């Protein structure tokens, strides 16, 4: 069974940093692109970033470029999102998803940016 489990969410002050992780199981992790998608409270879905199976290609939404970094450790079957210089508008549930299109999603991790 494919499973994605996010961790690392929490409350952080504006300008602070947070690192999200996603533990994958049930599939050959290195064969898949992986993505992060977020959803602000009461709002729609917003794609954040994705990364190729071997880590050689990465793409980001404009609003996080230069602040967020997506990475992966295929040996540990783990996906990460390093978030720096966080803003109030980054407050959202962050989902880890398999593939470019997200054929399987985790349960999400809540990130709250507030003073």
Partner 1 sequence: QSVLTQPPSASGTPGQRVTISCSGSSSNIGSDTVNWYQQLPGTAPQLLISDNNQRPSGVPDRFSGSKSGTSASLAISGLLSEDEADYYCATWDASLNGFVFGTGSKVTVL
Site for partner 1, rule CB under 8 A: 35, 37, 44-47, 50, 59-62, 95, 100-108
CA dist 58 and 40 (Å) reads: 23
User: Cβ closer to partner 1: 55 or 99?
Assistant: 99
User: Cβ closer to partner 1: 13 or 21?
Assistant: 21
Minimum CB distance to partner 1, residue 6 (Å):
10
CB 20 within 8 A of CB 83: yes
Minimum CB distance to partner 1, residue 15 (Å):
25
User: Cβ closer to partner 1: 44 or 66?
Assistant: 44
Query: What DSSP character marks residue 105?
Result: B
Strand 58-60's sheet: what is its strand order? 10-12, 109-113, 92-98, 34-39, 45-51, 58-60
């Amino acid at each position: 069974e494919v499973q994605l489990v996010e961790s690392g969410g929490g409350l952080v002050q504006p300008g602070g940093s947070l690192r999200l992780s996603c533990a994958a199981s049930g599939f050959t992790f290195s064969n898949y692109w992986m993505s992060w998608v977020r959803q602000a409270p009461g709002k729609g879905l917003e794609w954040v970033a994705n990364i190729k199976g071997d880590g050689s290609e990465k793409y980001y939404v404009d609003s996080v470029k230069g602040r967020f970094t997506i990475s992966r450790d295929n040996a540990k079957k783990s996906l990460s999102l390093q978030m720096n210089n966080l803003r109030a508008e980054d407050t959202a549930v962050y989902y880890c998803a398999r593939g470019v299109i997200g054929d399987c999603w985790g349960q999400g991790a809540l990130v709250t940016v507030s003073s």
